[in-house]
Structure formats: structure tokens, C-alpha cells
Amino acid sequence: MQAAPITRTHRRTARRTRTALAAGLLTAVLALSGCGAADDSGGSSDQRALSADGQEKADPAAGKAAADAKELAAEKEGAAASGASKKPNPVTATHVIRTASLLVEVKSASRAAATARTVAQNAGGLVADESTEQVDDTHDSSHLVLRVPQDEYDSVLRELSGAGKLLSRSSTAKDVTGQVVDVESRIATQRASVARVRKLMERADKLVDVVTLEGELSSRQASLESLLAQQASLRDRTTMATITLDLTEPETAAEADEDPGFLDALSGGWHAFVTMLRWLGMAVGAAAPFLAAAAVLLVLWRLAARRWGRKAGQRPPAAG
């Protein structure tokens, strides 16, 4: 009765031992296979490196040109990846473009325009555009475009609105912070790209490489200049607000004509008399040359007639 339990225990122990040995053998086989694959891949990598080194030693110029081309291609891919993956850093400053339009009725458009110029200049701004015209021969109107600093925008707007009777007012505020940050990031990337192309040009020996790099440099410099122009425009519009001011005078109705009286008739007759004398004087002046010529001809004719009459009286009578 005691031998049976002992036999079962030995069997269980033997099974566990065989299972452990099998697991150990499987682990050893897998480890050896992994080492062999690693050795094969390492050997192939070493062979590729040796072949590349041999090519560069065999033809140094070709190896250098290939290296430059690889570096330029890698630089292009890196710039594109950095431009696509770069996120704008969080900034505290907010960039806003502010504009406003005012229509104000004033007693004198010219005086109000002069006051508006003074207000803008005192605030550190300027007058970008100005024009004044007479509308329908009844009143004057002035149009001004003022540029003022953002800090003085609200105070200048209030002062201009109180210059007279405010007829209309509109204002807009456009947040361009994201656009400003994006342009600044692209400028930094483009400047680094231009610097890398210049370094490649310094190391280039072949004419073909120099021409290719010059074309690439011109293209990148043009892109950089375009970005700088965008940055300058954004800086100008975010630091200086624009206020369009229209000043108009109240329309005056034309005075109605009154019935003419004695004085009006006397004045009209006097003007007609003076006008007639003026025209007569002009007529005499125009006929004066002709009258002088006619007078000379008349004098000559009379002198000739007298001579003929004397000669006819001195002739002897005819014999009978």
C-alpha cells in the first residue's frame, strides 16, 4: 500500500524534469538562431560600408559630389520636416490689426481736418492720405486716412468722434498672432537653409555643382525676401492702427430770388449802359485803322482835284 504513492510521486517528478529540459533546449536553439541572424546582418552592413569606402577611395571627386548631393537632399527633407512638424511656441503678446471708419458732421471741414491732423501727430501718428472737395456748390467735405499707434488708438478715436455730430462709426479688430508666429518661424528656417546652401557652394569644385547651387540659392533667397516683406507688412499693420475719417459740412439751401425793385432796375440799366459804351469803344478801336486810311485817301483826292481845276482855268480860249 505504501509503494503505490511513492511510484506516483516519482513519475510526477520525472515529467516535470523532462518538461524543464525541453524548455531549456528550445530557449538555447532560439538564442543561437538570433545570434546567427545578427552576425549575418552585421556582416552585410560591414560589406556595404567597405564597398562605399572603396568607391570613395577609388574616385574622390565623385564621392565628394555624391556626399554634397546627399547632404543637399537631406537638408531639403529636414527643412520640409521641420516646417511641417514645428509648432509655434506659446507667446504672451497678441498681434491685432485694428481699423475704424468715422463720418462726422462739422461746421467747417477745413478747420476740423486741421484739428484731426494735430491730434494724430500729437499721438505719434501721421496722415497717410487727405483730400478736400466742394460738393454741389453747397458744402465742403474732407477725407483723411490717419495712422496712429495701437496704444493711442482708443483715445484718438474718442477725440475724433467728438469733433462734431457723429453720423456713423465702425471698427474692426483682426487677430493675426498665429500668422505672425508662422512667418517668423518660416523666416528662421529659410535663413538656416540659405546658410547651408552657401556652405555647400564653398565646398563645390565642379561648374555643374556651382550652377545648380546658385539656382537653389537664388530660389531660397527669393522666398526669404517674400517672407521678410510679409513680416514687415504685418509689423506695420499691428503696430499702427488705421482710422478713416470723413468730415462733412451741413448742406445749405440756395437763397430764393426776390422780386426786382427800382434799385435793381437802376443797377441793371447802368450795367447795360456801361456794357454798351464798352462795346462802342471796341467797335471804334476796331474801325480806327480803316477810318485813318479813308481820311488819307480823301485828302489826296481833294489835292488832286484842285490841281486839275487850276490847269483847266489857265488854258487859252479856242480861236473863233
Mean pLDDT by 10-residue block, N- to C-terminus, for the chain (320 residues)? 45 53 47 43 40 43 50 53 47 84 93 94 94 84 95 94 93 93 94 91 86 90 94 94 94 60 80 88 87 87 80 59
- Say what the pLDDT of residue 208 is: 87
Strand partners, 96: 175
Cα 140 to Cα 131: distance, rounded to the nearest angstrom? 11
Dihedral pair phi/psi, residue 78, rounded to 5°: -65, -40
What is the SS3 assignment for 315?
coil
Cα–Cα separations (whole angstroms), residue 205 to 55, 74, 75, 220? 19, 20, 20, 21
Domain ranges, ordered by start, for the chain: 94-251
pLDDT of 262 reads 75
CA–CA gap between residue 304 and residue 312 (Å, rounded): 13
Q: What pLDDT is attached to residue 219?
A: 92
3-state helix, strand, coil in the chain (%, to 5): 70, 15, 15
Q: What is the pLDDT of residue 253?
A: 58
Q: What is the pTM (predicted TM-score) of this model?
A: 0.50
What distance in Å separates the CA atoms of residue 106 and residue 161, rounded to the nearest whole number? Answer: 11
Q: 85: how many CB neighbours lie within 10 A of its CB?
A: 7
